[in-house]
Amino acid sequence: MLGNTTEILFDKFEILEVLKKDEHAAVFLANHIYLSKKIILKVLDTQKISDHALVERFKREAKLLAQLDHPNIIKVLDFGTSKDYFYISFEYIEGDSLRNILKNRKITFDEKKHLSIQLLKSLHFAHSNKIIHRDIKPENIFIDRNLNLKLGDFGLALSSEDSFVTNPYSIVGTPSYMSPEQVRGAKLTVQSDLFSAGVVICEIFSGKNPFLKENVSLTLNEIMSYDENSIKDSIETLEPDIKNILVNLLRRKPENRYNSAFEVLAAFGIGEDQAAVFVKTEKSSKSKLAAISIYSLVLIVIMLIIYQIVDNPKEDNSVTKDGNGIVEEKPDNIQKPVTSIVATDTSSETTGNLIDTPQTEDNNEKVVDTDISRNVRYGGLFVECSPWAEVFVDGERIETTPMGKPLTLTEGDHMVKLVHPDFPPYSSVVRIDHGKVTNVRVSLESLMGYIRCLVFPWGNVYINGDFKGQTPIRELVRVVPGFVRMTIKNPNYRDIDTTFNIQKGDTLQFRFTFKNN
C-alpha cells in the first residue's frame, strides 16, 4: 500500500509522489481530494512496527502541532487512523528545506537575519505553549519562495502535559545540533532548544556547524568538551551583534544562555508584536503608501491646530471655548477624562488626538475632583465591532457595541475582550495614551473559518454533528477555527466522514462527487 503512487489512500488522498519510504512508514506529496490542494502526507503502518514508542511519537507530533497555530510553524490539516494505518496531513510548502537553501543558494546578510528571526519566533510561540522541540536542525526547517520559514517535525517534542512515552531524560535528537545537557541525557528546558537554534543560526551566518566532526562519537565529544573561546574564534569574522548573540546562545551551561527566545529576538531588535511573515506584494506596498499619505495629512492638520493655539494665547488660566466650539485647556494642567475626538485613523487599532471637554452637569458628565484628577492621566477607547459584541475591559463588562462615545480609561495598557455568543472571543492588549483616543475596529467574521461545499449530485452537510444544510449551499458554511469534523450524507451512497484543521480566516473548498461502488 505504501509503495503504490497511483492509488488513493484513505478515500481522500491522491498520491502524487513518494518523498520518503521505509518498511513501516512513508511520506508522500499528495492531493487532498476534498480540499483540492497539495499536502504532505505522513503514513505509519502500525502492523509492521515492533517499537510502540515510534507509534506514540507519531501521534504526539499530530497532537502537539494541532495546538500550534503560528505562521512560522508547519500546519496540520488533519490526522486519523484507517485499519492498521495512522496518518497526518500537513500543509505543503512551495520551497525547500533550509539545508538545501544553505547548500544551493547564496543569501544576503539581511535574508540570513530574517530567517534567524523567524526561527526564533516559532520557538518563542512553541515555548509559550510549553512545548520543547528537541530536534531543531536545517532538515526540519522549510523555506518558501518568499523566504518565509516554517518549523516542522515535532515528533520528538516534549509537552508539559505529555505523559512522556520515552524517558524525558533519554538522549534523542540529531548529534551535531544537541546541547551539552541533551548529550548527557539531563532534563531539557527551553534553553536546550535555544542552544540548537544557536547552532543553526551559526550555520546560517558562517556556513558551517561548529560541532560537526567525522563521526557521531567525535561530534558528541566535541559538544561535551568544547571551549566557549573556540566558538568565539570560529565566528570572529561575523558582525559584532550577531557574534554576541551566538556567544550567548552557545553557552555550555543552560543558566548562562538567554532565558527565552524572546530575549534573543530583543537582541535582534525585534519586538514580540512585530509580524513574522515576510511577503512582498504590490498591493501591500500601495496600501502602505496610502496609509502614510493619510497619516501625513492628519499630522499636518494637527500641526496647524497647534500653531493656531500657540499663536493665540488666552489671558487667564480657565478652560474656555473659542468661536468654533473647540475646547482649549489652560496651563493649569488639570487632567480630566477625555470625551471628544478631533482626529482618528481608519486602521484596525489606531490612535487619534483628543481635546478635553469641561466636565459639568450641563453636559451630563460628573464633575471631576481636581485634586484627584491632577495625579491621574486619562485617554479614550472607542470600539467598533461587527456585528456587535459585549465589551470587557480588564475583566469587567463595560459596554455593548455600537458605542455612542469613547470610554474614559486611565493611561496605560488595558486588556480588551469582545464577546459575541456566535463567534470566538476577541482579546487584545490596548495601549491608552493620555489625551488621545484609541480606536479598535474588529470584524468578528474575520475570526471564523469558512467552508464552500460542492457535493454532487447532492448531500446533507453536518459539521461536528450539526446539520448545516443540503447542497447546493449558496453561502459559505461558517465554522469555529480548529479541527472540524465534516460528514456528508446521501442515502444512495456511503457516508463521507472526514476531519480537517481550519485556521482563522481560512476558506476551504470542499469538493466531492458520489460514485457508485
Taking the domains of the chain in order of start, what are their residue ranges? 8-91, 97-267, 314-445, 449-513
How many whole angstroms separate alpha carbon 260 and alpha carbon 193?
10
CB-based contacts of 183-186 (< 8 A; 24+ apart in sequence): 183/220, 183/223, 183/224, 184/224
pLDDT per residue over 331-386, tens digit each?
333 333 333 333 333 334 444 444 343 343 444 443 344 444 456 789 999 999 99
pLDDT at 171: 45
Measured at the alpha carbon of residue 24, what is the angle toward residues 22 and 29, in degrees to the nearest 5?
65
Whose grid coordinates read 548573540? Answer: 245
Confidence bin at 159 (pLDDT 50/70/90): low
Q: What percent of the chain has pLDDT over 70?
A: 74
pLDDT per residue over 267-326, tens digit each?
999 865 553 333 333 333 444 444 445 545 555 555 555 455 445 544 444 333 343 333
Lookup: cell for 47: 502492523
Mean of the per-residue pLDDT values of the chain: 77
pTM as predicted? 0.56
pLDDT per residue over 383-420, tens digit each?
999 999 999 998 889 889 999 899 999 998 898 999 99
pLDDT over 50 at 142, yes or no? yes
Of 38, 73, 29, nearest in space to 503 by CA: 73
Confidence bin at 82 (pLDDT 50/70/90): confident
Per-residue pLDDT, averaged over 162-166, amounts to: 38
DSSP string, 467-484: EEEESS--SPEEE-SEEE
Confidence bin at 329 (pLDDT 50/70/90): very low
Three-state SS letters, 258-302: CCCHHHHHHHCCCCCCCCCCCCCCHHHHHHHHHHHHHHHHHHHHH
How many whole angstroms separate alpha carbon 475 and alpha carbon 332?
59
123-127, 175-179, 347-351: least confident range? 347-351
Per-residue pLDDT, averaged over 209-215, amounts to: 88
Q: Which amino acid is at 512?
A: F
pLDDT over 60 at 112, yes or no? yes
Contacts of 207 (CB under 8 A, 6+ apart): 102
Whose grid coordinates read 541533551? Answer: 182
Asked whether the beta carbons of 449 and 503 are under 8 A apart, the reply is yes
Q: Which of 62-71, 124-133, 218-227, 384-393 has the highest mean pLDDT?
A: 384-393
Per-residue pLDDT, averaged over 87-104, amounts to: 90
156-160, 188-192, 244-248, 267-271: least confident range? 156-160
Per-residue pLDDT, averaged over 104-130, amounts to: 93
pLDDT over 50 at 424, yes or no? yes
pLDDT at 156: 62
pLDDT at 407: 92
pLDDT over 70 at 114, yes or no? yes
Contacts of 43 (CB under 8 A, 6+ apart): 2, 9, 25, 26, 27, 28, 85, 86, 87
pLDDT over 90 at 220, yes or no? no
180-194, 247-261, 331-345, 491-505: least confident range? 331-345
Q: Which amino acid is at 75?
A: K
Confidence bin at 197 (pLDDT 50/70/90): very high
Fold identical between 8-91 and 97-267? no
Q: What percent of the chain has pLDDT over 90?
A: 30
Burial category of 139 from C-beta neighbours within 10 Å (exposed 0-12, middle 13-18, buried 19 and up) = middle
Q: Provide Rg for the chain, Cα atoms.
A: 29
5-9, 141-145, 291-295, 374-378: least confident range? 291-295
pLDDT at 167: 41
* Domain 449-513 class, CATH top level: mainly beta
DSSP string, 17-44: EEEEE-SSEEEEEEEETTTTEEEEEEEE
What fold does the segment set 8-91 form as a domain?
A: Phosphorylase Kinase; domain 1 (3.30.200)
pLDDT over 80 at 435, yes or no? yes
pLDDT per residue over 229-272, tens digit each?
888 888 888 999 999 999 999 999 999 999 999 999 999 998 65
pLDDT over 60 at 53, yes or no? yes
pLDDT at 241: 94
Per-residue pLDDT, averaged over 164-191, amounts to: 71
pLDDT over 90 at 124, yes or no? yes
DSSP string, 134-153: ----GGGEEEETT--EEE--
What is the largest distance, in Å, between two alpha-carbon atoms of the chain? 92
pLDDT at 274: 57
pLDDT at 245: 96
Q: Which amino acid is at 158?
A: L
Interior/surface letters 177-194, b for 16+ CB within 10 angstroms, e for the rest: bbbbbbbeeeebbbbbbb
Write down the CATH superfamily of domain 97-267.
Transferase(Phosphotransferase) domain 1 (1.10.510.10)
131-145, 188-202, 318-332: least confident range? 318-332
Per-residue pLDDT, averaged over 196-217, amounts to: 91
